[in-house]
Amino acid sequence: MLLSLAYLASYGQQQYWLESPTMWGALGLAVLGGAAFAWRQGNLKRPYIHLGVFRHRNFCVGLALFCVFYFFRGTTSIASAYFTGVLHVDARQMVGLQAATLAGIVLGVSVVVRFVLLGTPLRRLLGVGFGLLLTHHVWMYLLFGPAQGLAVFLLPMLLQGLAVGFVMIPLALFTMGGLPPQLASAGTFAAVAFRNLGFVGSLAVTSVLQPYWRTAQLDRFRADLLPGTSEVAARVQGLQQTLQGKGLALETAQRGAASLLARTLETQTLLRYCLNYFGLVSLGLIALLVVLLVLPPLHRQAVTFQSRPL
């Protein structure tokens, strides 16, 4: 089922979604597979995933938060596209950014475990974690530009890892804490499935929004910068003179100038797409924080640990 949904999310836009028989087949396979799996698990004596886990309200809320959290985490691929497509970052430099994120995760987990042991309410920890994630997205939104230095992104990437560490532990404890011990393994498998579902949803949304925003941005640029206008003519003339100064013939320099202008337009389009998506996710995180403040199952939720002699 998940593989069919992943295929649908990854290739649906390329094949015009349900206008393609292949996409209908993938959707039908996902629906039939999910129904068959639910029927099979409901009739097994020892099911792989006991469907009784979905009778627990806090567990269902936790699954929804897992799904939303990994949906928002899909911006990682958008940031990578910005680094490689706009800033032209190589693999070695990307390792440095990923190392900053990893360091933030380690730091976040280390700090949040201490707060959990002190009995801090999980709702408060989740609020801090999602607040840090919101700060990361707003910070990245403000930093996005065509000529940024890579060093300025180290702290936002560290903050992203810190947010992940602050969210993962409390969210896992909240989701699994209300289940009886005999349903713990089923709850774990269900949480992993919903995590993947959130990631698949992120793939689907990005595959739809990227070409839509790209086309809209290109149309806007073409409307504002029509060939023959003074701004475009001056830009092309400057590029052409630069290329001619490097020894290229007039005709070759003209083609090269047009190619460079088109490449600049593509870069600006990708940059605008990154800005739009991060802005949209920031609004979603604000809405999620508001929901966390009023969500009844999270109120007064805390985890306590009792020391026992060895």
Question: pLDDT digits over 196-217, tens only?
Answer: 778 777 777 777 777 777 777 6
Tell me the C-alpha distance between 125 and 138, whole Å.
Answer: 20
**Is the predicted pLDDT of residue 227 greater than 50, yes or no?**
yes
Whether the per-residue pLDDT at 310 is higher than 50: the answer is no
Instruction: Extract the tokens encoding 180.
Output: 């009886």
pTM over 0.85: no
pLDDT tens figures, 245-302 = 666 666 666 666 666 666 767 777 888 888 888 999 999 999 999 988 876 655 444 4
CA distance readout (Å), 196 to 95, 102, 193 = 24, 21, 5
Distance CA 146, CA 264 (A): 10
CA dist., res. 210 & res. 12, Å (int)? 13
pLDDT band at 41, cuts 50/70/90?
Answer: low
> What's the CATH number of domain 56-209+276-304, 1.20.20.10, 1.20.1250.20, 3.40.50.1370, 3.20.20.10?
1.20.1250.20
